[in-house]
Homo-oligomer: A and B are copies of this chain.
Amino acid sequence: MNNNFRCNCPITSALDIVGDKWTLVIIKQMLLEGKKTFKDFSESDEAIASNILSSRLKMLEQFKIITKEKLTHNKKTNIYLLTEKGLGLTPTIIELTLWSDLNIREHHSSIISDSRIEMVKKNKEESIKMIVEFYKQKTDYNKT
């Protein structure tokens, strides 16, 4: 299991898993945009190719960052959900968002500001909890 890691640094090892062009984008789409099916991801603004999406979802499932389930009355559509491990990336994603909001606009003027950013700026810890709780509630609801 120790293969494919560049070295023994925890940060570098985390980046060996989520440090690529697409992985955190997919996790963001699940966490903040409510996406959960292959089609949801395929139709996103980011326009990920289906083969890349397929391989990333497989990898994330192997690392237990997401699960792949099916609805009881639909045997075709796969439902991809963040695990606790995946939800543990919420603070990282929130910090990246805050950094981007402050620092990227000068290079990318048409960037959109999520309404939740103001909430996060006011009370970071509470907002993170709320985002995670909201995700869990929503996915419970959708499963039944």
Q: Are B6 and A111 in contact (CB under 8 A)?
A: no
Q: Are B19 and A24 in contact (CB under 8 A)?
A: yes
Q: Are B10 and A111 in contact (CB under 8 A)?
A: yes
Q: Are A113 and B46 in contact (CB under 8 A)?
A: no
Interface size (A, Cβ < 8 Å)?
A: 53
Q: Which residue of B lies closest to A18 (CB)?
A: B96
Using known A-B contacts A6-B45, A21-B19, determine if residue A14 contacts B99 with beta carbons closer than 8 Å: yes
Selecting from A34-42, A67-75, A85-93, A130-138, the interface stretch reads: A85-93
> What residues on B are CB-neighbors of A95 within 8 Å?
91-92, 95
Interface residues in A10-25 (C-beta closer than 8 Å to B): 10-21, 24-25
A-B contact pairs, 26 of them (CB 8 A): A1-B108, A1-B109, A5-B111, A6-B45, A6-B46, A6-B47, A7-B46, A8-B108, A9-B46, A9-B112, A10-B97, A10-B100, A10-B101, A10-B104, A10-B111, A10-B117, A11-B32, A11-B93, A11-B100, A12-B45, A13-B100, A14-B99, A18-B96, A63-B107, A88-B99, A92-B95
